Every structure is written in structure tokens, then in C-alpha cells.
Amino acid sequence: MQVLYKSTRGSGETVTASMAILKGLSEDGGLFVPTAIPKLRTSMDTLSRMSYQETAYEVMRLFFSDFSDQELKKCIAKAYDHKFDTPEIAPLHKADGAYYLELFHGATIAFKDMALSILPHLMTTAAKKNHADKEIVILTATSGDTGKAAMAGFADVPGTKIIVFYPKGGVSAIQEKQMLTQKGKNTYVVGITGNFDDAQTAVKKMLNDAALGAELAQAGFQFSSANSINIGRLVPQIVYYVYAYASLVKKGVVSSGQQINVVVPTGNFGNILAAFYAKQMGLPIHKLICASNDNKVLYDFFSTGTYDRRREFILTTSPSMDILISSNLERLIYRLTGEDSAKCRELMESLAANGVYEITEEMRSGLGDFYGNYCCEEETRQAICRIFENSHYVVDPHTAVAAGVYEKYKKETGDNTITVIASTASPYKFNRCVVEAVSDQYKDLDLDDFALVDALHEISDVKIPRAVEEIRTAPILHNRVVEPEDMPRTVKEILGI
Ligand SMILES: *Cc1c(COP(=O)(O)O)cnc(C)c1O
């Protein structure tokens, strides 16, 4: 079956997978969605004997129809190699009554590596296939993890440049140092004096600015995106849900066809949407549990049917989820409207203009697969502490938000279905918060970030990841900070136009 892509705000015209990846965002401002979600036909028995790479191929070939087998296999081989510190790529760890799907074994120790290690290869392949003759400029807004993972993927990739915008003061110390020490002649990191939503909104605006696009084209450039609005990021994220399920079958934890729950710490709604797509493909998922931090727009949306971002933006210890405009929700909204792009556009325009939209009762009835809840800062801290005390397993604050929400879900529903929790970052990336949660001993010592790394090592016995050792003594290579309204000017300055 040939899967094509259409815009959530378009008039129904379709593009190939490679074109959708190359463009990132549709010209009408909508997001690309597959014309139909393909069914997973490979048997669970076969899947349970496959490596991560083989599973990736089984899933991606269904979505990326216009890539040849050879092209896709090459992209997969280049992405999921020794950059990951375990041959399993995404291992499951049983702790505290759940299965933690560790998605942080890649180069930058957050789950963004799962998709961003393959996106550059998909994109350069797509450029070749479509005879794109311009240099690709990847514009990226980051709440802390995407930026580093995208730069690690695109650094020194011929024919590309990457510009990353992050909220200055809105990311963890390790996240910031990871970005500011990034090497590569084609990488640019810019702090902004706003929050993630400001960065993402400005990036989407630039991607959609026809005049700016024309200026770029004249100078030999074209924009694309490494954010999860790009379908080339979303599809690789489906793979690990299939892989996790197959691993549970292999371990004999579930029998083929038995349902599981999935809990996802959520910000931009990309990761959980991938799980939803996995369910649409036929993976036996019962509930998709959407976990938020104090920025609980999604929880409120699931409880009331109203999406309202008109509220204070709260900086938390899970900064990668400090988001009030969850871009990928648009793909779900589009489905809920019965693929009515005019209605979808109306809702999204209302969000942009008024900061709020409300869905109909009928649309709400399509949300039955989802459960939403949130954890405040204290509950997050308690979850880190509890899991460590019960299972001697340290989780990062994002994963802790998911674990805390899972506890609430179990209490509320009594549902004891086997559950997979997406573990989205290494605790080393958020060492201060984690060390403070599990031990009082270090509280008054005023340790610097790398002394905290050593403290966490002492407490947890978990090997210090290469990604952290690498930046310990690395020089700072980037120092731009601009106001959000100066982002377009900064891009032009960087490109010399
Ligand atoms: C990006 C990120 C999230 C949120 O994922 P979305 O796909 O944006 O919902 C959660 N945890 C960590 C560590 C992240 O980097």
C-alpha cells in the first residue's frame, strides 16, 4: 500500500513521504499526516525475534513508501549503531511494578536521539530523491533535548546547516552545556530571552513565511524542521513501542495479543502520538496515559474538552515538558474532526489568535483511548525517591512525572494491565534534581554540576554516560542570546543574507 501525506489544514492534495520529510511543515501551516495508518502485518512471533534495526525497517517501510528498501536499510544502519551504548538500543527495565522503556541510550542521552539519529539520513536521502538543489537549513526550537540531539545528528552533514533556538534559563545546566559545546562547522545555537513556546511559534512562523522563503531560495537555501512536527521524526518513534511490545512477548511477560498500557511524559505530544499511531497499526495498547507536569494544559484538555494556553508558563524540573502549545495535538484534533481540515484550521487559528479552543462533544467521544493527569513538583520528587527506595532505580524527573501519573491512574481505576513507561532521559541530564530527591546528604554542599554527576554515580552505581564525560571539560563554542522578535534577523545574519 502506498502511503501518502496530506496537510491537517490543506485541501486534500498529497505529497510523498520524502517530500513531507523535506518540507517539515506544509505551506498552509498544517502538519503532514499519513492518508491512512498502515496495519502491522508481521506476526508478533516474528517481531519478537527481531533486532531493533529489523523492527525499525518493518515499521518504517510501511510509512515511507517512496524510499527503496536499500535506502531505508542504509538510513537505519547509519542511525542505530555504536552511537547507542547498548545493542538493544531501547532496553526495558522492570522496576516498581512497571516496565521502563529506556529511550536514553543514544548520543545525547534523551529520547530525542531515537528519531534524530535517523532524521538527517532520511532528509539527505529525501533531498536526493527529489533533486533538491538547495542547502537545507534546519530550524529548530528546543525545550532542551531536541536541540542537542538534532545538532549531533546534523553536525557536518554535507548540504545542511542547523540553527537551534532554546530558552535561556529554561533548560538544565547539563542540557545547556551540551548545546553550547556542540562542534561542527554547520551548527548554530542561539539562546532566546523567552520560553519554548516563543521559540516554537517564531520558528513555525519563519517556516511559513513565503517572503523569507523566497529570499532564502535566492541565496540557495531552503528551510526544513527537526521538530516533531516533521513526520520524519514521528514515524521512527513508533518503532520503539512495537519493539517494546515484542520484547515483552519474548520475555513471556505478555502473550501475543494481550493488551498493555503505555505511559508517556508529554510536552509537544509527539511521543504519545507515536504510541497512538502504534495502536492504530494494531499494536495491542489499552490506555495511552498522557502525563504532564505543572504546565497541565493537556490534562485540562482531556478533562474538559477545552484547550486553553492562557495561563502562567511554569518553569519546572522537567523542562522538556514546559510547553503550553503542544504542536502535535493538531494531528489528533484533525482525526477527531473526521479529517475535516477546515474545522481543524479554525480551531488552530483560534488557538493562535485567542489562546483557546473548544472541541465538540462528538469530538470528545473520540478521546477514549487516552487518560490524562499531571504531577506537581513535589509529587515528581516523591516519585523519584519512591522508585529509588523500592527498586534502587534512578529515574529522571520527566520519567518521574510519568511514574507519578501512573500511580494516580492505578488508584483511580484499579487497572492492573501490564504497563510500559516511556523513560525519556538519563537521570544524569537532570542530576541536581535527582540527587536532591534521593539524598539529603548533598543538600548543603553547594556542589557544581559535575560534582553532582559524581555524587549521582556514587548514589546510583549507574555508569556515567559518555555524553556527560565528553562535556565535562569541553570549551563553550556558542554564545549568542537574542530576543524572540530578533530570531528572523539572526537567521539571516547566520546565513549571510
Ligand atoms: C521532549 C521530551 C519530552 C516530551 O516529549 P514530546 O514528544 O514533546 O511530548 C519528555 N521528556 C523528555 C526528556 C524530553 O526530552
The secondary structure of 104-122, three-state, reads CCCCCCECHHHHHCCHHHH
Question: Which of 145, 295, 326 for mutating ligand 1's site (highest number of atoms within 8 Å of CB)?
Answer: 145
Q: Which atom of ligand 1 is nearest to the CA of 144?
A: 15
- Using the mean position of ligand 1's atoms as its centre, give its distance from the Cα of residue 110 in Å: 8
In which residue ranges of the chain is pLDDT below 50? none
3-state SS assignment for residue 75: helix
Summarised one tens digit per residue, pLDDT across range 389-401 is 999 999 999 999 9
What's the CA-to-centroid distance between 301 and ligand 1, angstroms? 18
Of 266, 269, 295, 426, best ligand 1 pocket probe by most atoms within 8 Å of the beta carbon:
266
Q: Tell me, what's the pLDDT at 442?
A: 84
User: Ligand 1 centre and the CA of 267: distance in Å?
Assistant: 5
Stated pTM of the model: 0.96
- Ligand 1: which of 424, 426, 428, 430 to mutate, most ligand atoms within 8 Å of CB? 424
Distance CA 485, CA 352 (A): 17
Determine which residue's CA is closest to atom 8 belonging to ligand 1: 268
The 10s digit of each residue's pLDDT in 69-86 is 999 999 999 999 999 999
What dihedral angle (degrees, nearest 10) is formed by the CA atoms of 426, 432, 437, 442? Answer: 130
CB-defined site of ligand 1, < 6 Å: 110-112, 145, 228, 265-271, 320-321, 398, 424-425
List the strands of the sheet with 419-423, edge to edge: 92-95, 98-102, 419-423, 260-265, 285-292, 370-374
The ligand 1 atom at the shortest distance from the C-alpha of residue 270 is 7
Which atom of ligand 1 lies closest to the CA of 268? 8
Distance 425 CA to ligand 1 centre (A): 9
Which residue's CA lies nearest to atom 1 of ligand 1?
320
Provide the 3-class DSSP secondary structure of residue 92. Answer: strand
Q: In angstroms, what is the span from residue 196 Cα to ligand 1's centroid? A: 12
Instruction: Tell how strand 419-423 and strand 98-102 pair up.
Output: parallel
Rg (CA), the chain: 21
377-391 vs 397-413: helix axis angle to the nearest 10?
90
Instruction: Please give the DSSP secondary-structure letter assigned to residue 429.
Output: G
- How far apart (Å, rounded) are the C-alpha atoms in residues 14 and 65? 13
Closest of 307, 317, 291, 314 to residue 371, by C-alpha: 291
Closest CA to 330 of 321, 343, 317: 343
Give the distance (Å) from ligand 1 centre to CA of residue 271. Answer: 7
State which ligand 1 atom lies nearest to the alpha carbon of 111.
Answer: 15
| Contact assessment for residue 342 and residue 388, using Cβ atoms and an 8 Å cutoff | no
> Which residue minimizes the CA distance to atom 2 of ligand 1?
320
DSSP 290: E
Which are the contacts of 84, defined by CB distance < 8 A and separation ≥ 6?
105, 106, 107, 113
Q: Which three cell numbers stand for residue 181?
A: 559545546
Which of 320, 330, 331, 434 is the best mutation target for the ligand 1 pocket, counting ligand atoms within 8 Å of the beta carbon and taking the most?
320
Determine the 3-state secondary structure of 137 from DSSP: strand
398 C-alpha to center of ligand 1: Å? Answer: 8
pLDDT of residue 444: 79
Distance from residue 122's CA to the centre of ligand 1 (Å): 21
> For 30-49, how does the pLDDT look when each residue is reduced to its tens digit (9 = 90+)?
999 999 999 999 999 999 99
Q: How far apart are CA 272 and CA 337, in angstroms?
A: 19
Structure-block grid coordinates of residue 186: 554547520
Substitution candidate for ligand 1 out of 102, 297, 398, 421 with most atoms within 8 A of CB? 398
Strand partners of residue 191: 166, 481
